[in-house]
Structure 1
Amino acid sequence: MASKTDPESEIDSEAAQHGGVQSVDRALAVLEILARDGHAGVSDIAEEMGIHKSTVSRLLGSLVSRDIVHQNSERGKYQLGFGILRLASSIPGRLSLVREARPVLEGLADQFKETVNLAVLRSNYAVNVDQAMGPSTLATYDWVGSLTPLHATSSGKILLAALSADDRDRILKETGLPARTPRTITSRDKLDEQLLDVVGNGYAVTLEEFEIGLKSMAVPVYNHVGSVIGAISISGPAFRFDPEKTPGLLEALKEAGLQISANMGYTRR
């Protein structure tokens, strides 16, 4: 004969489960505050979360015991601990840049009706690893797998600007600055000036430098440690597409780059 469950036991069990979920939610909120502010005291956290200081102390004590949070002995404030790094280190290897970027590329291509590419640095060139086509019948060229020169493409300029001076010198000495069109930058001094602008502005453009009749704009994609791992670009025919004059394009492109970066573990600074 099956035994009946005590209704009071069921209520106690549900209450315990609810309390457990609430504790997890609060612990995550504490971690988000510490990630945002760098460090915080018990009173600061309690005030922001609207809970008692004793509750915050219990949460922090549990997180400290697992090395997720560390207490600064001098100021008594708390900050994220090395346990977070152990957890985070298991993520990047399982993340696929192409997979994480794909919906973002498609959204941009649909919004601006032009071709959007994702490129990475490989063997001294920018290699397009994925592409979302705009609906225009003119946007028919498949760039995936194409090796494009760093100095003559917007994605390439993003990747070049992110390199150390030594790595940039090495690559440009090996590849040179060949002219793809009459508008290609072939002066190292002029290229360096433009790369400084790329770093300062957060984007790069090419105006028929790789191919006559083609204009493009690109922004960086970052990984979980803030290193540039790729570039997302949008390109179109010069007779209808002027990236720096297209309303909302720069903002949308930068936001897309940050969205992909966030998918790869990057935290906005």
Structure 2
Amino acid sequence: MVSIPTSEGVAERRETESGALARGLTVLSRLHEAARPLSLQEIADSVGLPTTTCHRLLQSLDQAGYVYREGALYCPTPRAACPLPLEHPLNRLRRDTAPLMRELQERHGPSVLLIAFLGNHRVTVDSVAGSYSVAPYFDTNVSAPLHASVSGKILLSDRTPEQRDLLLGPEPFAARTELTIRDRSVLYAELEQVHQRGWATNENENVMGISAVGTRLAAPSGRALGAIVLTGPSRFFCNGNEAMRDDLRQASELLNTTSHAVRAMSQFLGI
């Protein structure tokens, strides 16, 4: 007799499969973060799973071509470590922007970041470290608050007031420093200026002693697809940021008008 799966059984199976997928992605993420081969026990300890469960997940990832074994250690394959093709719009944008970023860093001193907007998410596509003693660390996923960062303000300036409300939540906004803008009306007034002029600043608003200025990268439609940002110790900005703004604007305008990667990014993002 053929058994017909119930809706409850199908839902349970889907929940189990989605849970396994999430755990597998977590395992893969740990391998990326470690930046070295890991043993089964190290992976299990880092993700908080039993070794038997972790072993099954690693076997599935191995069969799918995302990890390989080096003796008793596990490593991500090229498919996992470098998933984007060389001609992907993000890689093309990185290559087009690299010479401009190096020139900006050498001329002004702070670190330079190329940030792309994937929906409401921000990703660091490339960086050039600044000329100062403390080595900066920039994560791929940009987690700085939207209301207290240059990339966040540029992203918000490209959204409607209703969309901003959903992204920011209720006021007063969280204070990162005593200079963080916490009032909605004050922030929205600044965002309108950012939208009109194409650049934004962060003067000790996220971390005391760290400032930034950046300009918008725009699709042919005018929508923001990312930003180029100069950021570093506030001493670099003590005489104002007008020269930085001018050079950043020139770099952004050059990319916006001549880079095929910018057009490819706009198609990739659907904007």
Q: Which residue of 2 aligns with 1:208?
A: 204
Query: 2:192 and 2:239 mapped to 1: Cα distance?
Result: 18
Q: Which residue of 2 aligns with 1:54?
A: none
Q: Which residue of 2 aligns with 1:228?
A: 224
Does structure 1 residue 257 correspond to structure 2 residue 268? no
Partner residue of 1:242 out of 237, 241, 253 = 237
Q: Which residue of 2 aligns with 1:88?
A: none
1:134 Cα deviation after fit: 2.0
Q: How does 1:1-269 map to 2 (within 5 A)?
A: 96-122=92-118, 124-173=120-169, 177-238=173-234, 240-242=235-237, 245-246=240-241, 248-262=243-257, 263=259, 264-265=262-263
Query: 2:216 and 2:132 mapped to 1: Cα distance?
Result: 25
Q: Is 2:115–2:226's contact at 8 Å kept on the other side of the alignment?
A: yes
Query: 2:230 and 2:137 mapped to 1: Cα distance?
Result: 13
* Corresponding pairs, count: 175
TM-score, structure 2 normalization: 0.57
1:252 Cα deviation after fit: 0.2
Match for 2:95: what amino acid?
R
User: Residue 180 of structure 1 aligns to a residue in which SS?
Assistant: coil
1:186 Cα deviation after fit: 1.1
Q: Percent identity?
A: 28
Shift of the 93–114 alpha-carbon distance from structure 1 to 2, 3 Å rule, reads closer
Q: Which residue of 2 aligns with 1:76?
A: none
1:175 Cα deviation after fit: 10
Q: Is 1:116–1:134's contact at 8 Å kept on the other side of the alignment?
A: yes
Q: Which runs of 5+ in 1 are unaligned?
A: 1-90
User: Residue 141 of structure 1 aligns to a residue in which SS?
Assistant: coil
1:233 Cα deviation after fit: 0.8
1:255 Cα deviation after fit: 0.8
Q: Which residue of 2 aligns with 1:41?
A: none
Query: 1:146 and 1:217 mapped to 2: Cα distance?
Result: 16
Match for 1:253: what amino acid?
L
Shift of the 111–144 alpha-carbon distance from structure 1 to 2, 3 Å rule, reads farther
1:140 Cα deviation after fit: 2.8
Shift of the 125–182 alpha-carbon distance from structure 1 to 2, 3 Å rule, reads farther
User: Residue 115 of structure 2 aligns to a residue in which SS?
Assistant: strand
Shift of the 254–167 alpha-carbon distance from structure 1 to 2, 3 Å rule, reads same
Per-residue CA deviations over 1:151-203 (Å, capped at 9, x if unaligned) read: 10011101110112332222122898211112111111110011112123321
Q: Which runs of 5+ in 2 are unaligned?
A: 1-86, 265-271
Shift of the 149–112 alpha-carbon distance from structure 1 to 2, 3 Å rule, reads same
Query: 2:112 and 2:170 mapped to 1: Cα distance?
Result: 28
Query: 1:265 and 1:193 mapped to 2: Cα distance?
Result: 30
